[in-house]
Amino acid sequence: MSRKFKSKTARQPDPTRLRRLAGTQGEHAVVGEVLDGADGFVCWELDPAYAAWFWPLMHKATELILSIPESELESLQLGDCTTPPRAPTEEEKDEILKLPERTEDCTRVYALTLKGKPALVRKAFPTRTANMRALQFFQQRPNG
């Protein structure tokens, strides 16, 4: 039996809820939309293109939401880039895969959906984390 999964219609983020990762700015800003928050954590929706930087061997993502401490985000400033990131090159993928995964560098994934698949993660599934060092690596790349 085959299943068809309806793709979500792309919605535009609310500019008043956009936040950048603390310490990022300008063309290297990592920007997402804060959807909800509780107990010092927020659901921060990133453009799904960032998933290629967290998990370079995974299929294309259509949804990516992290559960991140609110203190790790700051207000958007004039000049911060809000466009999706480019895909990593093969060499960059190799380097990302070699990044150490330390618990203190990781944050929980709240939602993750791959193209043509049902949601893999929903509501902070405890075993899926994103290595935030991948975003630091992304920032150091030209045109990152």
The structure tokens listed for 104 are 């203190």
pLDDT tens, position by position, 2-54: 334 344 555 677 888 999 999 899 988 899 999 988 899 999 999 999 999 99
**pTM of the prediction?**
0.81
Check pLDDT > 80 for residue 98. Answer: yes
The residue type at 54? F
Please report the pLDDT score of residue 45 as a whole number.
95
Q: Cβ(111)–Cβ(122) under 8 Å?
A: yes
Please report the pLDDT score of residue 121 as a whole number.
56
Please report the pLDDT score of residue 131 as a whole number.
82
Residue range 108-113: mean pLDDT, rounded: 88
DSSP string, 57-81: TSPPEEEEEEEEEGGGEEE--TT--
Q: How far is CA 63 from CA 7, 9, 10, 140, in A?
A: 11, 11, 10, 24
Kind plus residue range of the DSSP H or E element containing 92: helix 90-97
Q: Exposed e or buried b for every residue in 97-121, given b needs 16+ CB within 10 A?
A: eeeeeeeebbbbbbbbbbeeeeeeb
